[in-house]
Amino acid sequence: MTTRVELSALARRGMESIPVYIGDATPCAVDLSDNTNLWGAPPAVLRALRSADVSVVARYPATYAGSLRDALLEHVGLSGADGIDVVTGCGSDDVLDSAMRAFAQPGECIAFSSPTFSMIPTFAQLNGLTPTPVPFAPGFELDAERLVDVRAKLTYVCAPNNPTGTHVARSAIDYIVQNAAGVIVIDEAYAEFAPEVFVDLCTASDRVLVTRTFSKAFGMAGLRLGYGIGDRNLVRLVTRARGPYKVNALAERAARAALTAGTEGRDWVLERAAEAVENRLRLVDAVNRRGLTALPSAANFILIPTRRARQLASGLATRGVRVRVITGMPAEPRELADCEGVGLRVGVGPWPAMQTFLNALDEVVACA
């Protein structure tokens, strides 16, 4: 006879408090909720997938996706000759999770500005770390001194920041790199849309890991591929924590195609990113003219802090437009003081999709 045991008594302490990530799968005409590439994937990627040898499905992929190393280093303008290396993963969040396991013992701190990428506190809890949020300064300036004062084993910076979309000043990043106690992780998931990137800092400090993804500008979210760049010894430790076979064979093939020069590969990606930046500026202006306030953004989305976020999102959904309601935002900085902790995050894509959103927003506001 099998003895029944209360599973919660067997689970690791704190597991019951870990939130389950729940996406919205409700059918919609325009989905602006995930910050993915609304133009789709590069033609070179689609061609590579169509021509793939299906026999690879029955075999394990490359242990550590080594074929991507040189192409990724070239893409970011760095070289293995400088002591720099690459770690890949099942999305950049896999690399972030692995970095926490590699460098922090249970009970140690990870410091980050708040609000930021929602999975950071979750990964911290899963790895037994103490999440230590630090509010942004006015204007969403990174409070570099307060972050450094935590003396955390890891300091995480999202640049541009998610969910606010705001740019991070190089002076703040430089201060953290020069003064932080432990490893500095710079999450550049939205690098292709930003006015400035920080991957060059990998050569300035052997404690800097820069993570990026193929899910956003490269239009490959469904293939789950991200990577980290840093000093060879730092990357070696993250690779050990990451484990083998994290990048599937089709994703590796698609990434090689996406990184090739030409109008159907990397140039296509950069052209779509430039168009997203233009449309982002138009969208911020259009939202502000409607009596709402969109934060200045350096990513492929905008954030509209408003206490009416849930009401607006519900009204948009009934009109076939999905956006993301952001909750739990702090009262600091002052730009968030009156929004009651909520806002709308809206992805940026082709202008017809933006116009559909604006038309639906007009109808929702008119009915309020």
Q: Tens-digit pLDDT profile for the chain (368 aa)? A: 667 778 888 888 888 888 888 878 778 999 999 999 999 999 999 999 999 998 999 999 999 999 999 999 999 999 999 999 999 999 999 999 999 999 999 999 999 999 999 999 999 999 999 999 999 999 899 999 999 999 999 999 999 999 999 999 999 999 999 999 999 999 999 999 999 999 999 999 999 999 999 999 999 999 999 999 999 999 999 999 999 999 999 999 999 999 999 999 999 999 999 999 999 999 999 999 999 999 999 999 999 999 999 999 999 999 999 999 999 988 888 888 889 999 999 999 999 999 999 999 999 999 86
> Residue 174 corresponds to which amino acid?
D
**CA angle 211–214–220, rounded 5-degree value:** 155
Q: Using the 8-state DSSP alphabet, how is residue 323 labeled?
A: -
pLDDT for 10 equals 84
Chosen CATH of 43-258 out of 3.40.640.10, 3.40.50.720, 3.30.200.20, 2.160.10.10:
3.40.640.10
By CB atoms closer than 10 A (0-12, 13-18, 19+), residue 9 is exposed
pLDDT for 114 equals 95
> Residue 318 corresponds to which amino acid?
T
**What are the backbone dihedrals phi and psi of residue 69, each rounded to the nearest 5 degrees, phi first?**
-55, -60
pLDDT for 22 equals 80
Cα–Cα dist 8/14, whole Å: 10
Task: Dump pLDDT digits (tens) for 68-116.
Answer: 999 999 999 999 999 999 999 999 999 999 999 999 999 999 999 999 9
- CA within 13 Å, CB half, 275: 15
Domain boundary assignment for the chain: 23-40+266-367, 43-258
Q: Can you tell me whether residue 367 is helix, strand or coil?
A: helix
Cα–Cα dist 139/166, whole Å: 9
Q: Is the dihedral of CA 76, 81, 82, 88 positive or negative?
A: positive
Q: What is the 3-state secondary structure (H, E, C) of the chain?
A: CCCCCCHHHHCCCCHHHCCCCCCCCCCCCEECCCCCCCCCCCHHHHHHHHCCCHHHHHCCCCCCCHHHHHHHHHHHCCCHHHCEEEEEECCHHHHHHHHHHHHCCCCCEEEEEECCCCHHHHHHHHCCCEEEEEECEHHHECCHHHHHHCCCCEEEEECCCCCCCCCCCHHHHHHHHHHCCCEEEEECCCHHHCCCCCHHHHHCCCCEEEEEECCCCCCCHHHCCEEEEEEHHHHHHHHHHHCCCCCCHHHHHHHHHHCCCCCCCHHHHHHHHHHHHHHHHHHHHHHHCCCCCCCCCCCCEEEEECCCHHHHHHHHHHCCEECEEECCCCCCCHHHCCCCCCEEEEECCCHHHHHHHHHHHHHHHHHC
Q: Report yes or no: 351 and 282 within 8 Å, Cβ to Cβ.
A: yes
pLDDT for 1 equals 60
Cα–Cα dist 215/35, whole Å: 9
Task: Dump pLDDT digits (tens) for 229-284.
Answer: 999 999 999 999 999 999 999 999 999 999 999 999 999 999 999 999 999 999 99
| pTM of the shown model | 0.96
Fold of 23-40+266-367: Aspartate Aminotransferase, domain 1 (3.90.1150)
Cα–Cα dist 56/72, whole Å: 23
pLDDT for 2 equals 67
